[in-house]
Amino acid sequence: MTANSRNGRPAAGRPTLLGQNQYGKAENRVVKITRDGDTHHIKDLNVSVSLSGDMEDVHYSGSNANCLPTDTTKNTVYAFAKEYGIESAEQFGIHLARHFVDSQEPIHRARIRIEEYAWDRIGTSDSNSKFIGADEVQHSFVRRGQEVRTAQITYDGEKWQVFSGLKDLTVMNSTNSEFWGYVKDRYTTLKEAYDRILATQVTGVWRHNWTSDDQRMPNWERSYEKAKQHMLDAFVETYSLSLQQTLYQMGARVINGRSEIDEIRFSLPNKHHFLVDLEPFGLKNDNEVYFAADRPYGLIEATILRDGAEPQIPVDMTNL
Ligand X SMILES: O=c1[nH]c(=O)c2[nH]c(=O)[nH]c2[nH]1
Q: Catalytic residue among 25, 40, 139, 230, which?
A: 25
- 208 part of the active site: no
CB-based burial label for 291 (10 Å; 0-12, 13-18, 19+): middle
Least gap, CB of 242 to ligand X (angstroms): 4
- Closer of 123 and 298 to ligand X (Cβ): 298
- Closer of 197 and 243 to ligand X (Cβ): 243
Q: Catalytic residue among 99, 272, 273, 318, which?
A: 272
- Closer of 93 and 204 to ligand X (Cβ): 204
Least gap, CB of 196 to ligand X (angstroms): 8
Least gap, CB of 40 to ligand X (angstroms): 20
- Closer of 81 and 243 to ligand X (Cβ): 243
Angstrom CA distances, 67 to 27, 54, 59, 74, 218, stand at 19, 9, 10, 14, 65
Number of Cβ within a 10 Å radius of residue 162 = 20
Least gap, CB of 172 to ligand X (angstroms): 14
Least gap, CB of 119 to ligand X (angstroms): 20
With contact defined as beta carbons under 8 Å apart, do 185 and 156 qualify?
A: no
> Which stretches of 85-129 are assigned E, i.e. beta strand?
107-117, 119-121
Report the candidate in 230, 263, 77 with the shortest Cα–Cα distance to residue 164: 263
Query: CA 25 to CA 284: how far, in whole Å?
Result: 23
Query: CA 273 to CA 30: how far, in whole Å?
Result: 9
- Closer of 174 and 270 to ligand X (Cβ): 270
Task: Give Dmax (Cα) for the chain.
Answer: 89
- 139 part of the active site: no
Q: Which residues contact 240 (CB under 8 A, 6 or more apart)?
A: 173, 176, 177, 178, 198, 246
Residue nearest to ligand X (CB): 243
Query: CA 35 to CA 138: how far, in whole Å?
Result: 10
Q: Catalytic residue among 39, 41, 59, 70, which?
A: 70
- 238 part of the active site: no
Q: Quick one: which H or E segment has residue 247?
A: helix 243-257
Positions in the binding site for ligand X (CB under 6 A) = 179, 190, 242-244, 270, 298
Query: CA 269 to CA 282: how far, in whole Å?
Result: 33
Cis? peptide before 296, omega within 30° of 0:
yes
Report the candidate in 209, 208, 204, 193 with the shortest Cα–Cα distance to residue 234: 204
HSE (side-chain half, CA atoms, 13 Å) at 143? 19
Least gap, CB of 237 to ligand X (angstroms): 17
- Closer of 102 and 192 to ligand X (Cβ): 192
Q: Known catalytic residues?
A: 25, 70, 272
